[in-house]
Amino acid sequence: MSNLFKKFDYIGKIILLMFSLLIFNSNIARADALQNCQSDDPKLVVKGCTELLDDLENNELETATIFLNRGLAYENSGIYDKAITDYEAALVLSPDLEKAKVSLKRAKEKVAGDRKTCENCSGCHSAHWCTLD
């Protein structure tokens, strides 16, 4: 084999190795994001699910489930507007996702209840709570 072919062979092996490392690191990052998306910590869930949503490899059911998980984390954190948005996105992708339907209804009821409570307050300090006099 000539020196030129040896150089091309060597460069090809380096490129293949770099590509393999890139895929390996990508898979590790996706695994970490998936683990975070299924965490008990709402902040980690939002972070992990958002990273997974940025990934173009999800099918519709996976994406709907990711939106559902992130919506639950938002709801558990009292961020109902974002929870509702995520539940609605999940249902667009997977209209039969029962947990998203139930969660959407619950979040909307919570927002409606908070609005009623705020009408009886001296002033609302956020979209989610107020102080009573």
Tokens 């995520």 locate to 86
CA angle 95, 107, 123 (to 5 degrees): 150
List domains and CATH numbers for the chain.
3-106 (1.25.40.10)
Alpha carbon distances (Å) from 51 to 19, 85, 127: 21, 17, 26
CA angle 96, 97, 102 (to 5 degrees): 110
Largest CA distance in the chain: 89
- pLDDT score, position 129: 46
pTM of the model: 0.64
Say how far apart CA 124 and CA 133 lie, in whole Å: 11
| Alpha helix positions (H), the chain | 3-37, 42-54, 60-76, 80-93, 98-119
- pLDDT score, position 128: 47
- pLDDT score, position 132: 33
Q: Which residues of the chain fall short of a pLDDT of 70?
A: 1-28, 56, 115-133
